[in-house]
Amino acid sequence: MPLPLTMYGATHCEDTQHVREQLTAWLIPLIDVNIDHDAAAEQFVIFINGGQRRTPTLVVGSSDRKTILTEPGDDLLKATLLDSGYAPGHPQNRPVIDDATLLNYILFDIRGCLSALSGIAMLARDSKVNLPVSVTNWLKKWQPAIETWQQTQDTIRLKNSLSHNTSNGGDALIAELADGLGYVPESAAEGRSLSIPQSLTEKQLVESALHAIERLNLIYRLLISQEYKLIYG
C-alpha cells in the first residue's frame, strides 16, 4: 500500500496548483490542506521550512517513515512517489479495498495522532518541559476524551474482527468511530488560539500537538461527510 500523502498549499500559489494538477494527472490520492484557511497547518509549514512560508510543502509517509518535499520539481516528485509505493499514471494508485481494511487504516491514522498527543501530555504532566499554563490546561481537557475514545476503538475492533464482511455494518462502525471523536472540533478550535512558546523544544512540542489535533479534526470531518473513502480508499 502506498504511503499517505499530504500537500500543504495556498490559494494563489501557482506551484501548488501545478503540483495538484500533476498529482491528479498521475492518479495520486492526497490530503489537500490550504494553509490560508488553517492556522495550525500554516505554522507547521513555516516550522518545517525553517521559518519560511513555502508552498507547496508535501509530506509523504507517516511518523515511522516520512519524506518532506518543498516546491518539488516534477522529476523529484515522481521519484519520491515511486519510492513511496505509487505508480504515477496507473489506476493501481486507487486500489479497491474491503471495509475491514479501510477501517483499520483509519484506526491506525487516529492512533498515531493520539499517541503523539498523549506523549506530549505526559511530558507536561511530569514537568519534563515547561509549557505555558494555557497549553497544559488544554492538554488536560482532552485527556479523558482520549481514554473514552480508546474504549470506542476497542469495541469497534472487536466488532470488526467478529465479522468477515463488514459491508453491511461498515457505515455503522464509521458512525460509531466518528462519535468517539466528537470532542475534536472544539479542541482544535481552542488549540488555534494558544500562544506558541519561543523556546525551540517547547515550540516544537506545541506545534506537533496542534498538527496532530488538526489532523484528527480533518479525519473527523471526513467521517462525518462520508468522504473518507476518497482519502483512505
24-59 pLDDT, tens per residue?
A: 888 788 889 999 988 888 999 999 899 999 999 999
pTM metric for this prediction: 0.54
- Which residues lie across from 62 on neighbouring strands? 65
Q: Which of 12, 53, 58 is nearest to 31 (CA)?
A: 58
Query: Where among 44, 74, 93 does a domain terminate?
Result: 93
Range(s) of the domain holding residue 71 = 5-93
- Ranges of residues in the chain whose predicted pLDDT is under 70: 1-3, 62-64, 89-100, 145-146, 149-170, 227-233
Assess whether 88 and 103 both reside in one domain. no
Question: pLDDT at position 10, please?
Answer: 94
pLDDT tens track for 161-189: 555 444 445 677 777 777 777 778 888 88
Last residue of a domain, which of 57, 72, 93? Answer: 93
- Same domain? For 30 and 124 the reply is no
CATH of the domain at 46: 3.40.30.10
Query: Do residues 116 and 192 both lie within one domain?
Result: yes
220 and 159 belong to one structural domain: yes
If asked whether residues 106 and 154 sit together in one domain, one would say yes
| Residues 9 and 64 grouped into a single domain | yes
Amino acid 88 reads P
Q: What is the pLDDT, as a whole number, of residue 165?
A: 45
